[in-house]
Amino acid sequence: MTTRELLLQSIDLDTLSRIRTYSELISVALGLAISYLAYLGYRRNRSRPMLFIALGFALILGVPGAALVILRFWLGVPVPIVNSVGQLSELAGLLAILYGLWMPRRA
């Protein structure tokens, strides 16, 4: 056996599942923190593009993780549906950020 095969055999699936869950929770927390800071920037400067950027980060990082926790773990929704909800949220978030960056400034 090679070293790689030994390493793959020694990995515990429960450990990988826990790492994945913690990683998802960290992503949600970071997404919400970034969204909050962008929202504060919007309130401080009344910059409408910053509002769309805040919304985009919340949709990209916050909603998919929350959907995983709520839909999959609490409600038992099948994984393909949860993934679809997350993917649609990420697409909407990217469009919101693009709009916020592209939006003309008002003088």
Inside any domain, residue 69: yes
Stated as kind and residue range, the H or E segment containing 47 is none
Stated as kind and residue range, the H or E segment containing 75 is none
Inside any domain, residue 26: no
Residue 11: phi and psi, rounded to 5, are -75, 125
Inside any domain, residue 34: no
Inside any domain, residue 17: no
Inside any domain, residue 105: yes
Inside any domain, residue 44: no
Domain containing residue 82: 51-107
Structure tokens at 30: 């970071």
Distance CA 51, CA 14 (A): 39
C-alpha closest to that of 85 among 106, 66, 58: 66
Inside any domain, residue 64: yes
**78/13: higher pLDDT:** 78
Q: How many CB atoms lie within 10 A of CB 53?
A: 25
Distance CA 17, CA 103 (A): 41
**How many distinct structural domains can be found in the chain?**
1
**Tens digits of per-residue pLDDT, 41-70?**
999 998 899 999 999 999 998 888 888 888
Q: Model pTM?
A: 0.73
